[in-house]
Chains A and B, each alone.
Chain A
Amino acid sequence: MNLTGTIYGINGPIVYLKGNLGFKMSEMVLVGKEKLVGEVIALTKDTTTIQVFEETTGLKPGEEVVATGSAISVTLAPGIIGNIFDGIERPLKEIAKQSGAFISRGVNVDSLDTKKLWDVHITVSEGDKIYGGTIIAETRETRAIVHKSMVPPTVNGTVIKVVPDGQYTINDPLVTIRNDQGEEQELTLTQKWPIRIPRPTTKRYAADRPLVTGQRILDTLFPIAKGGTAAIPGGFGTGKTMTQHQLAKWCDADIIVYIGCGERGNEMTEVLEDFSKLVDPKSGNPLLDRTTLIANTSNMPVAAREASIYTGITLAEYYRDMGYHVAIMADSTSRWAEALRELSGRLEEMPAEEGFPAYLASRLSAFYERAGFMSNLNGTEGSVSIIGAVSPQGGDFSEPVTQNTKRFVRCFWALDKSLAYARHFPAIQWLTSYSEYVSDLTPWYTKNVGSNFIDLRNQLISLLTQESQLNEIVKLIGSDVLPDDQKLVLEIARVVRLGFVQQNAYHPSDTYVPLEKQLKMMETIMHLYEQCKKLIAMNMPMTLLKENDIFEKIISIKYDVANDELDKFNDYKKAIDDFYNHLLETNA
Chain B
Amino acid sequence: MSIEYLGLSEINGPLIVLEGVQGAAYDEIVELTVEGNKHKLGRIVEIYEDKAVIQVFEGTEEMSLKNTHTKLTGHPMEIALSEDILGRVFSGIGEPIDGLGPIISDVKKDVNGEPLNPYTREYPRNFIKTGISTIDCLTTLIRGQKLPIFSGNGLPHDQLAAQIVRQASLGSDSDEEFAIVFGAMGLKHDVAEFFRRTFEESGASSHVVMFLNLANDPVVERLITPKVALTAAEYLAFEKGMHILVVLTDMTSFAEAMREVSSSKGEIPSRKGYPGYLYSELATIYERAGIIKGSKGSVTQIPILTMPNDDITHPIPDLTGYITEGQIVLERALHQKAIYPPINVLPSLSRLMKDGIGEGYTREDHQDLANQLFSSYARVGDARALASVIGEDELSPIDKKYLQFGTAFENEFISQGLMEDRSIEDTLNLGWKLLAILPREELDRVDTKILDKYYHTSTADETSSSEA
Contacts and interface: CB of A to CB of B under 8 A. Distances in A.
A523 B347 CA distance: 36
Contacts of A103: 114-117
A268 B268 contact: no
Contact of B48 (A9, A59, A272, A298): A9
Interface stretch (A68-76, A110-118, A281-289, A548-556): A548-556
A394 interface: yes
Category for how many chain B residues contact A: 35 or more
Contact of A9 (B47, B121, B444): B47
B121 A269 contact: yes
A184 interface: no
Given A11-B46, A58-B26, A297 B396 contact: no
A21 to B, nearest CB: 16
A475 interface: yes
B325 interface: yes
Interface in B116-145: 116-124, 144
B228 interface: no
Given A354-B271, A394-B313, A477-B390, A295 B118 contact: yes
Nearest to B269: A355
Interface stretch (A157-165, A220-228, A341-349, A447-455): A341-349
Interface residues of A, number: 82
B75 to A, nearest CB: 8
Given A58-B25, A237-B321, A101 B378 contact: no
Contacts of B46: 9-11
Interface in A1-37: 8-12, 16, 18
B26 A57 contact: yes
B280 to A, nearest CB: 5
Interface string A410-424: 000000011001111
Interface string B6-39: 0000000000000000011111100000000000
Given A58-B76, A394-B318, A479-B396, A342 B280 contact: yes
Interface string B281-321: 00110111010110100000000000000001111001101
Interface stretch (A92-100, A206-214, A318-326, A457-465): A92-100
A372 interface: no
A51 interface: no
Nearest to A273: B123
B460 interface: no
A58 B325 CA distance: 32
Interface stretch (B173-181, B216-224, B330-338, B367-375): B367-375
A102 B447 CA distance: 42
B132 to A, nearest CB: 20
B112 A57 contact: yes
Given A61-B50, A354-B271, A478-B396, A101 B27 contact: no
Q: Which of B279, B318, B321 has the most CB of A within 10 A?
A: B279
A421 B284 contact: no
B386 interface: yes
Contacts, number: 222
Interface in A74-129: 84, 92-93, 95-96, 99-104
Contacts of B280: 262, 298-299, 302, 342
B394 A266 contact: no
A59 B322 contact: no
Contacts of A273: 123
A265 B290 contact: yes
A339 to B, nearest CB: 8
A253 to B, nearest CB: 23
Nearest to A8: B49
Contacts of B379: 422
B414 to A, nearest CB: 15
Contact of A264 (B269, B323, B445): B323
Given A11-B46, A103-B114, A355-B276, A264 B325 contact: yes
A476 interface: yes
Nearest to B138: A423
A61 B24 contact: yes
Contacts of B352: 266
Contacts of A349: 268
Contact of A93 (B24, B119, B351, B386): B119
A434 interface: no
A356 B279 CA distance: 14
A476 B378 contact: no
A237 to B, nearest CB: 5
A572 to B, nearest CB: 16
Contacts of B290: 265-266
Contact of B327 (A237, A354, A417): A237
B270 interface: yes
A103 B113 CA distance: 10
17 contacts: A9-B49, A18-B49, A56-B26, A58-B76, A60-B25, A61-B49, A84-B118, A101-B292, A103-B115, A104-B114, A237-B326, A272-B119, A356-B270, A418-B378, A423-B374, A475-B385, A479-B396
Closest 10 pairs (CB-CB, A-B): A394-B313, A355-B270, A298-B283, A422-B378, A236-B321, A57-B27, A9-B48, A102-B114, A299-B287, A268-B118
